[in-house]
Amino acid sequence: MLSIAIVISGRGSNMRSIIEAKEKQYLDIDIKAVVSNKPDAAGIEYAADKGYRTEIVDQTLFEDLDSYNRTLKNRLEQLDADLIVLAGYMRILPPELVDTFAGRMINIHPSLLPEFTGLNTHRRALNAGKEKHGASVHFVTAKLDGGPVIAQAEVPILKKDTEEILAQRVLQQEHRLYPAVIKLFEQNRIKCSGNYPVLDDAPLTEPITINANSDITNGIT
């Protein structure tokens, strides 16, 4: 059984989608813990109410960033999870932490990478006049939002879209995409080799793409 640790900073809506996927028996995973850098993160309360172990590494209690990152790294190592799942963790991870979990840490980002790394992705997509937007799940590397992309969910940008409306439509697809990618790990179908994910022993030179009509009931095929 695949074991995972989920790292959050806020409401943890993608974490909730993973827990719900487990409850519906779509995912056969062991959630070792939900870890947050903020003690008041709404996602921590949700995870605790569901009976999952929670860990707080409060960034405000450390005298410097290096101390905080070392402690977070140690906590994650102690959990000994097969996969570290970043689900709305809002801090940049240092290279030494990322390197420790190379090939075993993934993140979801609200854009079609490599477009719009960083923040305010929905606003930037609208301002750029893009016809489509979406979300990407990628392996985490030291380059911000720059690791090999495993899969993406696309949504069209409509004339009536505001930043808030677009964000909500993208989030709906994130909640489908992340569990589907985790299922690939559960099935031992995906790994990272150099600059490419490897799916079913073949380099994945282009991300897997899903949309609102994609049937991922049994996982990505």
Q: Strand, helix or coil at 157?
A: coil
Residue 198: C-alpha distances to residues 65, 88, 100, 192 (Å)? 34, 25, 20, 6
Portions of the chain given CATH number 3.40.50.170: 1-101, 109-138+150-221
pLDDT tens digits for range 139-168? 999 999 999 999 999 999 999 999 999 999
* CA atoms of 146 and 160, how far apart (whole Å): 31
**Cβ-contact 46, 66 below 8 angstroms:** no
**Cβ-contact 183, 86 below 8 angstroms:** no
pLDDT score recorded for residue 216: 84
Region 109-138+150-221: CATH code: 3.40.50.170
pTM score: 0.96
Token pair of 186, please? 């559960």
List of residues 6+ apart from 73 with CB closer than 8 A: 96, 97, 100
Residue type (1 letter), 15:
M
Region 1-101: CATH code: 3.40.50.170
Angle between helical axes of 42-49 and 13-23 (0-180°, round to 10) = 20
Residue type (1 letter), 7:
V
Residue type (1 letter), 213:
N
**Cβ-contact 134, 111 below 8 angstroms:** yes
Integer-rounded Cα radius of gyration of the chain:
17
The answer to whether residue 218 scores a pLDDT higher than 80 is no
Show which residues are catalytic: 109
Residue 74 pLDDT level (bands cut at 50, 70, 90): very high
